[in-house]
Structure 1
Amino acid sequence: MGNSPEDARPSTEDDRPSIGDDLPSIGRSLQQGRIDAGLTVDEVSTSTRVRVPIVQAIEEDDFSRCGGDVYARGHIRTLARAVGLDPAPLVAQYDAEHGGRPAPTSAAPLFEAERIRPEPRRPNWTAAMVAAIVAVVGFAGFTLFNGGDDAKSGKQVAEGPAPAKTTPKPTPSQPAAPKPAPSESAIAAVPQDKVTVKLTAIDDKSWISAKSANGKLLFDGLLLAGESKTFQDDERLDLILGNAGAIELFVNGKKVEDKFEPGQVERLSYSKGDPEAG
């Protein structure tokens, strides 16, 4: 009993059983792994930074959106790790279904381009150094230029005559009070177009108030013994003397001879011309 010629015939490739016919697809494996991990597509996209449309396409075994085999392998590894699967069998399955792995090239890490990874800007140290050098040179030139001008101006001042000393002009202040004594010179010094009143506390203090013709308050306070106050206005001065007997009064350069009693309150008004009690 021997084998028939047909039994001795070598088996062909078509007669060999296919490998992996009962294995789930790559997309189905990734989808089931995601479901088992309790993750949504959005959560996987957020954790891997692979865009949602690409994640959905890979789970449907559509790798055309990956941009090539290199990107597809990278996405398969990333998604497998995110859902807790071993990426090596899935990548090997992809190579078997898509003609094997090509020779490694420098473009292998390019799948990272799909991830959101901003590149930090580096400071431009060269421009900063150039700006600093320009600033230093400009400052040095400015200093030398000003120094030369100062030296020239200093030389001219040294060779010229010494400036004459000038006496500063006094700042305008209150008009000088007329002399207490009712002399002819004191009367002549009083302006004729104004009303001038001088109050002097002789031997006691007195509260006084002075207002101009327009109601402006010129003074309101205590005049101590020995102190004097002089007031002037174009039209009229209104006075209130709290202790009139302690006050010596000059109006328009003339002493008022009225005898006021100590402690007496007097209300007086004076205008241009001879003094008259109001």
Structure 2
Amino acid sequence: MSIGSNSPEDDRPSIEDDRPSIGRVLQQARIDAGLTIDEVSASTRVRVPIVHAIEQDDFSRCGGDVYARGHIRTVARAVGLDPEPLVAQYDSEHGGRPAPTPAAPLFEAERIRPERRGPNWTAAMVAAIVAVIGFVGFTLVNGSEEGGKDKNVAEGSTPDKKPTPTQAQTTKPADPKPDPSDSAIAAVPKDKVTVKLSVLDDKSWISAKSHNGKLLFDGTLLKGESRTFQDDERVDLILGNAGAIELYVNGKKVEDQFETGQVERLSYTKGDPEVG
């Protein structure tokens, strides 16, 4: 006879504990897809150490719950899984879904700051030369006008010539230039990738690069602000607060339902819109 309050049934794991871990599911899906960690990192823009840590169920390197959930979504899509069950499992294991937090301050560590440029001496020299030429031209014209006035005083002014009826009829007012509008996005060039971002609510930190890694934009857009980016082959984006953004790619609205506080890494080419 045994004495104690704990029965053998108390030591049996719950049904929920029988689920494979998030990292194990992602690792197995990657192996089944025939992908390496380096290939997953290259396609998702998530660094190799972070992908490796996630597969070991170590989310401490993600920078917080918001970014951990974003990394899980991104990696799951790359290996062909539905990310929502894994995100729900992460929330249940880490105290529920976190409250949205401002994306820009937390993302400072990952921002790619543009190099500072020195003064453009060539432009300064050109401006100086133009200024000198303009001053000399003004002096010559002013002198000519004064000489003409003296001559008119001596000889008498001549009456102004009125335009003939033929000349008046042939002179037509210039056509007014059309005002640019947002509808021009529908006429984007087919030989380029065109991406337009508009912040509808709150604010969002944005990073945009061309296909060769050139930084097109790096900063925070406030509510009501927009940016348009173009490249010959591909535009890569990092959205710090994807739920606040309306996204148009090659003239078409992207209908993905991004969430507030969600971090998204996206790539678009000429044949998109498709999530990168």
Instruction: Name the TM tier (shorter chain).
Output: 0.3 to 0.5
Structure ID, larger Rg: 1
Q: Normalised by the size of structure 1, how large is the TM-score?
A: 0.38
Q: Normalised by the size of structure 2, how large is the TM-score?
A: 0.39
